[in-house]
Amino acid sequence: MSSYTWQTSSYCAQGEACLNVAADATGVKVTESSDPDGVILHTTPEAFATLTHALKTGSPSPYIDVAHAPDGLVRVGGVVTTTHEKWDAFVLGVRAGEFDHFGQGAAR
């Protein structure tokens, strides 16, 4: 696994089987737990804050697109693909405020 300190939602069914979120001086990273060294969505704290706000309010995210495919997969930012179960666990964590600190200081 990469050198980032990844955080997952406490709602993930199987420990780290979920979307992973990390941050460093260059911004916020999002990846799928089954591929933590593979595809990583790199975004700003501001864009991540708008995503979490959108998930809490049921509105669309203006910067990070979330597409739900008929086969049950969810594509985040056109980069990261995950299952709807992992996505749902991530959303529950977002709604519980578990990822708010990644967008702190960001204007919404």
Per-residue pLDDT tens over the stretch 53-97: 999 999 999 999 999 999 999 999 999 999 999 999 999 999 999
> Which pLDDT value is given to residue 108?
40
pLDDT digits (tens, 9 = 90+) for 13-57: 766 678 999 999 999 999 998 876 789 999 999 999 999 999 999
Q: What 8-state DSSP symbol labels residue 68?
A: E
How far is the C-alpha of 18 from the C-alpha of 44, rounded, in Å? 21
In angstroms, the CA 105 to CA 39 distance is: 26
What Å distances lie between residue 107 and 1, 49, 71, 76, CA to CA? 31, 8, 35, 21
Retrieve residue 57's tokens.
Answer: 């309010």
Please choose, from the candidates 80, 26, 79, the residue with its C-alpha nearest in 3D space to the C-alpha of residue 3. 26
pLDDT-derived band at 107, boundaries 50, 70, 90: very low
